[in-house]
Amino acid sequence: MGSKNKLKRFKENETFANVVQPTREDVLAGFKHKGQWASFFGNNNPIVLELGCGKGEYTIGLAQMDPDRNYIGIDIKGARFWRGAKTAIEQNLGNVAFLRTQIELVDHLFDEGEVSEIWITFPDPQIKYKRTKHRMTNPVFLERYKKVLRPGGVINLKTDSEYMHGYTLGLLQGLGHEILYANHDVYKNEGAPSEVLEIQTFYENQYLENGKPITYIQFRIN
């Protein structure tokens, strides 16, 4: 994407009511929407996050499937989720928002128990050992998610990375967390939830064309 297109999208994001773009300092000093997301949406419906939402395809797909829940896509790259934010406005999806910030700040963005569910879709597996701290299912991130999830809240990991799938399964088992469902090839093995099978991102379609299996884990942090 050219720099002109990026700048255009950044400017358009600033006009979208469904886009929130705090600075890191704003978040750490006391984020105004923390604990107040019900006021932002104008209802008390459950809140679902997509972390690393990219173009927002999964956030939009989930919101279309379940209008009685509020969906927030989080990503630091606003030029990417511009497409999702614009689609939500065009389709009058009032249960969608996008938040431009670092995922590591999630426990500063939401109050304890304010989130019902989390989706992590096709994250960078950060395979190198020195990148472990950036892996989105490492123990530090899991503790952050636990802080914002309501009791019984679930996390969903959908990925094309067999490494990420295996790493996460092993970690969950080792830490004694509850694995609700695991599937190492959702399109070949029966039983995956409809939202796993019916929503496909641009990159997921590319992975499928190349014959890569798509994996999925749903779990609960104890």
Catalytic residues: 124
Residue-wise burial string across 13-42, b where 16 or more C-beta atoms lie within 10 A, e elsewhere: beebebbbebeeeebeeebebbeebeebbe
> How many Cα neighbours within 13 Å face the side chain of 20?
21
How far apart are alpha carbons 119 and 89 in whole angstroms? 22
Return d(Cα 157, Cα 6) in angstroms, integer: 29
Position 86, amino acid: K
Instruction: Copy the structure tokens of residue 175.
Output: 């830490």
- Residue 45 CA to residue 24 CA, distance in Å, equals 27
Query: At 33, phi and psi to the nearest 5?
Result: -90, -10
Residue with tokens 């999925």: 216
Instruction: Measure Cα distances from 64 to 31, 47, 58, 77, 133 in Å.
Output: 28, 14, 10, 23, 33
